Structure 1
């Protein structure tokens, strides 16, 4: 049960209307909601839509009088009424009392709250009231309290003793802000003194929806945020919501706007306020998910502002949510992302293990757990995760590609590991395509890759996109293995007019198959290749080869220089000079050979074609 008080220092801000509509939204979302009308001086809850079923019923005033007369708390169920919203949803209401009777004012005024607290155990009586709410047979998820305005004893009960959160609604005027400052301060002191978290949700409301040429509203909102101490993106605090004034005669009938005008701007703003409330309740799964979506932004803002304490609070909140929802894979996965950003790798590893046990996003979780384990210097465990990902029958390219890259970087013998996974019957074709890049670092593997992919292409039904990727990998393997005629046959099967990479591979295959440079095909490629493309090292190397073959030597040398600029020592890229995947150092050597041939006026001929002369 999560108790939230709606408070305003002054009236006229739409507090009760906001509470009633938020209650309806919570009920529509399947929550069990109790509304408590603690605005005893001017009760208003039963005025709104379906809540009028609580009109004329006994409530808080009668509950307190029973206690004063008997020194015993009555059964709270006798003062709660269920109000259907529609055929499917309902809320429960504990009204202030029957304020339609003339005696109500006298009964309310006769309660001396100070004396009740000082001499009649009023604090314990209200704690028992809260316990009874929690034990009610309806099983309330949320209790929403409508508090009296101003700085009063009742206001203190509603803002400091009973709630887990306080929605502070106000028009951003000097009078409102001046009155709110001590109230907000008292709530914060209560949080510190009693070691309990009372969340403050600030909601500027009844805001004029007008063009603000002189930024009067903007300045007022900034002043309110500064003076009340909210709105810092680098602090773990609830999101600020706003409710604008809505000029509509329908409001005179006090309907529940979220039911009658669910698509209106006002209804959407009440929806944002509802989300801000549930986000503070880590027990509510929907609220937990909403909080986890926002925590990374807060952590990043805290990091940029070097606010270590705020960052620690974000981690603690993520930990709390993950603990409360143990076994929930989605929540664990979201929490793990926060731990990763914070460099809390041990927590990330544990949480991702929970994700995997829950069977949620297993391949993605294993991929991320491998990275966490690598950061923890658990190399063998990380490799186990990577191999499991690459062997998975349900993985996707989004897991296979980074897993293969990490395998290359981490394994003592990545080619042998890749070969073992490649040859497993359960390994998906997408994974085999990715692994082929690793295997084709060694020319002795080209035949194996080509044969495996050829067999798969004959038996597997596949999408056009996958077929294109398979054919591309097959052509690279066949060309690298010297099986040029087979590569030409595959290349001619496809419509390569719109695929420059396929045209390039087909030209190399024809060169290898015939022993003669296919000048027309390279000339066609030359016309289509970009003059100033910011591609990777392989692209610029291929452009350099084409330019050199057609006699544009200076431009070819320029492309070689551009390719060299893009080499990384730790990287690995496919080289069209050898038709194998090469390390950065090896790739640089290939470019040097190309440059030397161009500088002496020779056609740059890839060396793996030399045996055909």
Structure 2
């Protein structure tokens, strides 16, 4: 099968785009696919945080990436001693030297390699802010370099998942127009977010006319707290994006399948749903990720290969920051209380409390306890008092 290059894009930030990409990568790798994930969100790189327990250089202090690659090409392209041959740049476009392996045993030959945005040292922000993308394309032949990079990605992987920066920019254009076979267009269900995402979709559609690109619009952070407004947002999004789904046989089923739910517990840490969520829970973040992957893979992959419960809890503990990795002694069982729920509230204006509560929440979840966090003021809906009371009564 020809390798598929998939860009995850969002017009506005805060959609959960990067987490959706990371979950998709794990699901594909768990079923034996060779996956490359590329952090092209150069101004705010963060894809690596979803894999930090599995990376030898978890903060990427010494791991070069996209910025290092394009700077090396730009430097070579302006060198008077540049080789007089048409394919000289292909050597610099080889992706393998920049790929960092995620150290986890997937079903053979499954794997995840990460290409970072760039080495996260004191020079990184300068490299990003001073790079001239117009010069890269117009004078240095950067378009040919990107095509060579694209070919190198296809050569070594089954799926390439690219995390694009938000908004409108030169680098977003590379990720949405030149590179992908598939564009996952992520948006929340506000009118502004829908309009912005659709405007980008229309622009990409015009620029890729005659060069097939499949687009999957995906509503993110879907909160069912206000049913009427939710339905209005759904109808508006479906009307706006309907013309981009001609490749989908049943658009109604598609819209019902790919929505990503809003779950407050994921707001506190970069955590994979493939690790946190148990399988076969239709309303979970994991299940929504599986349904999206089914569309991206033409149903070749429809479910994650489940982790054993002990392994899943061990991985969950590895995601915790500042918490010992040794398992705590198991709590004594109580036949009168088959399920245990803990509800945690705290002083929201205290950073110290926030850190302590987050670690407590992860520790409880890692040991199978249904721990739930109260919502901070900025995330409360009108029915928050009733919701909080229900949580307290059930704890």
Instruction: Please confirm whether the aligned pair reaches a TM-score higher than 0.5, indicating the same fold.
Output: yes
8 Å CA contact 1:6, 1:166 repeated in 2:
yes
8 Å CA contact 2:189, 2:233 repeated in 1:
yes
> Which residue in 2 is equivalent to 1:77?
96
Q: Distance in 1 between matches of 2:247 and 2:181?
A: 22
> Which residue in 1 is equivalent to 2:31?
29
Q: CA deviation at 1:84?
A: 2.2
What are the within-5 Å matches in structure 2 for residues 89-488 of structure 1? 90-99=111-120, 101-136=121-156, 140-192=157-209, 195-210=210-225, 212=227, 215-230=228-243, 236=249, 239-240=254-255, 241-248=258-265, 252-263=268-279, 264=281, 265-279=284-298, 286=300
Higher relative contact order, chain-length normalized (CA < 8 Å, sep 6+): 2
User: Deviation digits for residues 81-125 of structure 1, max 9, x if unmatched?
Assistant: 1112346553111110122x1210000112111111111111101
Q: Secondary structure, in 3 states, of the residue corresponding to 2:33?
A: coil
Q: CA deviation at 1:232?
A: 6.7
Q: Distance in 2 between matches of 1:286 and 1:186?
A: 30
Q: Secondary structure, in 3 states, of the residue corresponding to 1:155?
A: helix
8 Å CA contact 1:61, 1:107 repeated in 2:
yes
Q: Decide whether aligned partners of structure 1 residues 230 and 171 sit closer, same or farther in structure 2, where only a CA change above 3 A counts.
A: farther
Match of 2:49 among 28, 35, 47: 47
Larger helix percent: 1
Q: Decide whether aligned partners of structure 1 residues 51 and 157 sit closer, same or farther in structure 2, where only a CA change above 3 A counts.
A: farther
Q: Distance in 1 between matches of 2:98 and 2:235?
A: 42
Q: Distance in 1 between matches of 2:184 and 2:267?
A: 22
Q: Decide whether aligned partners of structure 1 residues 53 and 199 sit closer, same or farther in structure 2, where only a CA change above 3 A counts.
A: farther
User: Deviation digits for residues 533-578 of structure 1, max 9, x if unmatched?
Assistant: xxxxxxxxxxxxxxxxxxxxxxxxxxxxxxxxxxxxxxxxxxxxxx
TM-score after normalising by structure 1:
0.43
Q: Decide whether aligned partners of structure 1 residues 125 and 242 sit closer, same or farther in structure 2, where only a CA change above 3 A counts.
A: same
8 Å CA contact 2:215, 2:245 repeated in 1:
no
8 Å CA contact 1:163, 1:198 repeated in 2:
yes
8 Å CA contact 1:38, 1:145 repeated in 2:
yes
Q: Distance in 2 between matches of 1:52 and 1:216?
A: 42
Q: Work out which of the two has the higher radius of gyration on C-alpha atoms and give 1 or 2.
A: 1
8 Å CA contact 1:199, 1:237 repeated in 2:
no
Q: Secondary structure, in 3 states, of the residue corresponding to 1:245?
A: coil
User: Deviation digits for residues 414-447 of structure 1, max 9, x if unmatched?
Assistant: xxxxxxxxxxxxxxxxxxxxxxxxxxxxxxxxxx
Q: Decide whether aligned partners of structure 1 residues 128 and 59 sit closer, same or farther in structure 2, where only a CA change above 3 A counts.
A: same
Q: Secondary structure, in 3 states, of the residue corresponding to 1:286?
A: coil
**RMSD in angstroms over aligned alpha carbons?**
2.4
Runs of 4+ displaced beyond 2 Å = 49-55, 84-90, 227-240, 250-253
Q: Decide whether aligned partners of structure 1 residues 87 and 8 sit closer, same or farther in structure 2, where only a CA change above 3 A counts.
A: closer
Q: Decide whether aligned partners of structure 1 residues 170 and 11 sit closer, same or farther in structure 2, where only a CA change above 3 A counts.
A: same
Q: CA deviation at 1:203?
A: 0.5
8 Å CA contact 1:166, 1:201 repeated in 2:
yes
> Which residue in 2 is equivalent to 1:395?
none
Larger strand percent: 2
Q: CA deviation at 1:182?
A: 2.3
TM-score after normalising by structure 2:
0.65
Task: List gaps (5 residues or longer) in structure 2.
Answer: 78-88, 304-395
8 Å CA contact 2:31, 2:106 repeated in 1:
no
8 Å CA contact 2:22, 2:272 repeated in 1:
yes
Task: List gaps (5 residues or longer) in structure 1.
Answer: 280-284, 291-613
Q: Decide whether aligned partners of structure 1 residues 29 and 5 sit closer, same or farther in structure 2, where only a CA change above 3 A counts.
A: same
Q: Does 1:68 align with 2:85?
A: no
Q: CA deviation at 1:191?
A: 3.1
User: Deviation digits for residues 280-331 of structure 1, max 9, x if unmatched?
Assistant: xxxxx826x99xxxxxxxxxxxxxxxxxxxxxxxxxxxxxxxxxxxxxxxxx
8 Å CA contact 2:8, 2:184 repeated in 1:
yes
Q: Decide whether aligned partners of structure 1 residues 150 and 34 sit closer, same or farther in structure 2, where only a CA change above 3 A counts.
A: same
**Residue correspondences, number:** 275
Q: CA deviation at 1:172?
A: 1.4
Q: Decide whether aligned partners of structure 1 residues 236 and 156 sit closer, same or farther in structure 2, where only a CA change above 3 A counts.
A: farther
